[in-house]
Amino acid sequence: MKTSILTINRLETTLRSYSGTSHQALGSSVPAAVSVLFSVTNGEPCVLMIKRAASLSHHSGEWAFPGGLIEDSDDSALHAALRETNEELGIDPDQIDIWCQMSPVDTSTGFEVWPYAGRVIDEVALKPEPAEVAEVLNVPVRVFIDDVSKRTITLIRNGTVRSMDAYAYEDRIIWGASARIIRNTINIVMNAA
């Protein structure tokens, strides 16, 4: 399937009409929420990703979506995703148009991550928080469709060996929950009738 058919309009139309499937949470999961934000950069749809700062206690140095833990003071998971996006990147919630809530993804580290897909205004002024964000990148959506970008990586944690899907973009590898979230998002759009 050609990547050129996956336009920002198709992303928006399909994801706006999406209603997530049911999900059985892990009993001990810590709830978190992220923003999967699309925009148009250099004429093509991209998704905004961050490299988490090396000093963070969880998932440090990994490519992720802006977001974080759902706190007691948050009105909802969506509120948490928007609050964390603002704290990490300085993006005001009014610069984001949320299209849908997607099914959560459980991580091997005990988090239940609720993704919210939407669009951030093109060429938004970002103010990354250095204590949380090491790098910011607009990854072209084609990266998550083209077979040439797909990888399988092996992770050994606590004596358990796991193989998982990943994506390569330039010198970066996107894997784990972030890879599953973007794969799920792209699959929703590509499989829509």
3-state secondary structure 4-73: HHCCHHHHHHHHHCCCCCCCCCCCCCEEEEEEEEEEEECCEEEEEEEEECCCCCCCCCCEECCEEECCCC
CB 106 within 8 A of CB 32: no
Q: Is the alpha carbon torsion for 88, 93, 96, 97 positive or negative?
A: positive
Closest to 124 measured CA to CA, from 160, 158, 95, 101: 95
Lowest mean pLDDT: which of 47-61, 118-132, 144-158, 161-175?
Answer: 47-61
More confident residue, 108 or 166: 166
- pLDDT score recorded for residue 5: 67
Give the span between the Cα atoms of 56 and 44, in whole angstroms: 32
How far apart CA 71 and CA 58 sit, in angstroms, is 16
Q: By three-state DSSP, how is residue 127 classified? A: coil
Q: What is the pLDDT of residue 158?
A: 79
pTM confidence score: 0.89
Please name every residue paired with 120 in a beta bridge, in sequence order, or none if there are none. 96
Report the pLDDT value the prediction gives residue 192, as an integer from 0 to 100. Answer: 82
Q: CA–CA separation, 112 vs 117, rounded Å?
A: 16
Q: Which of 108, 112, 186, 121 is nearest to 147 (CA)?
A: 186
Instruction: Give the CATH architecture of domain 3-140.
Output: Alpha-Beta Complex (3.90)
Taking only the tens place, the pLDDT of each residue in 100-157 is: 999 999 887 788 999 999 999 988 999 999 988 999 999 999 999 988 889 888 878 7
DSSP 146-163: -GGGEEEEEEEETTEEEE
